[in-house]
Amino acid sequence: MALIEVKDLKKTYESDDVATPVLHGLTFKIESGEFVAVMGPSGCGKSTLLHILGFLDKHSEGSYLFDSKAYDDFSPAEIARVRNKRMGFVFQAFNLLARASVFENVKLPLLYSGTKESLWDSAAKEAIEAVGLTHRLNQDSAKLSGGEKQRVAIARALVMKPDVIFADEPTGNLDSKSGQQVMEIIQDLNETAGHTIVLITHETYTAEMAERIIKMKDGLIESDTRVAARRSAKDKFIK
């Protein structure tokens, strides 16, 4: 069953009466449990697409269905609820609270979720354990390495047990060793935990860790193919 479905999706930004088209009519589906990499050069529309799929921005034309329901049929309250409970986000810049601990950063989505407060601590600790950072539980995030910060970001994305995790260039600011550790976690979240993963990347090597690669160019889909020999994130990582 398709968790994500877009049809003739277009996005145009308007500024001072100047229209800048970014996406020119994309059509594809992503099934529940898939690991899909969206790749292409800078400026091709990858991040714009991710923001639309993650309910962080709205498309201009065409349609976007999430779990068979059209975006336009979601109320603002429903959009906020889906984004909080059913979607997790991992960004290149980490987006952590620098003066907050690992535990406090990971617990943050729970504060706005309606989850019983008595469950917050155990849920946060479980997510932190999943990324191997229990020993950093009370460490301020500003004092962590880049790889550790990204693992905290993954734990924060994971804490609500979302249906889909959107990862936008998650290894872009990391060295090879840290990048490999992050990709091992992301691949395991798909293979073991069954999370749908949508990975934005410009790296072919990283994209080949997915099951399927959607290549974009100039706001269009250039190709959409299955990965014949999927790479394991445990292999030597090449940046």
Q: What is the pLDDT of residues 40-68, one digit of tens each?
A: 998 899 999 999 999 999 999 999 999 99
User: Do 18 and 7 contact (CB within 8 A), yes or no?
Assistant: no
- C-alpha to C-alpha distance for 3 and 34, rounded to whole angstroms: 9
What angle (nearest 5°) sits at the alpha carbon of residue 205, between those of residues 201 and 208? Answer: 85
46 token code pair: 């990858």
State the average pLDDT over residues 162-172: 94
Residue 131 pLDDT exceeds 60: yes
DSSP H helices, the chain, are 46-53, 76-85, 102-111, 120-130, 146-158, 176-191, 204-207
Rounded to 10°, the helix 176-191/146-158 angle is 20
| Residues 207-235: tens digit of each pLDDT | 999 999 999 999 999 999 999 888 888 87
Give me 33's structure tokens: 């449990």
Helix (H) or strand (E) holding 216: strand 212-217
Binning the chain into helix, strand and coil, the percentages to the nearest 5 are 35, 30, 35
At 79 the pLDDT is 96
Q: What percent of the chain clears pLDDT 90, i.e. is strictly above it? A: 81
Q: Do the strands 164-168 and 2-15 form a parallel or antiparallel pair, or are they unpaired?
A: unpaired
pLDDT digits (tens, 9 = 90+) for 68-121: 999 999 999 999 999 999 999 999 889 999 899 999 999 999 988 888 989 999
What is the predicted pLDDT for the residue at 237? Answer: 63
pLDDT at 120: 93
State the Cα–Cα distance between residues 145 and 149, nearest whole angstrom: 6
Whether residue 239 has pLDDT greater than 80: no
Residue 71, number of CB atoms within 10 A of its CB: 17
Name the pLDDT band for 168 (thresholds 50, 70, 90). Answer: very high
β-strand partners of 30: 4
Instruction: Kindly report the length of the chain.
Output: 239
pLDDT interval class at 9 (50, 70, 90): very high
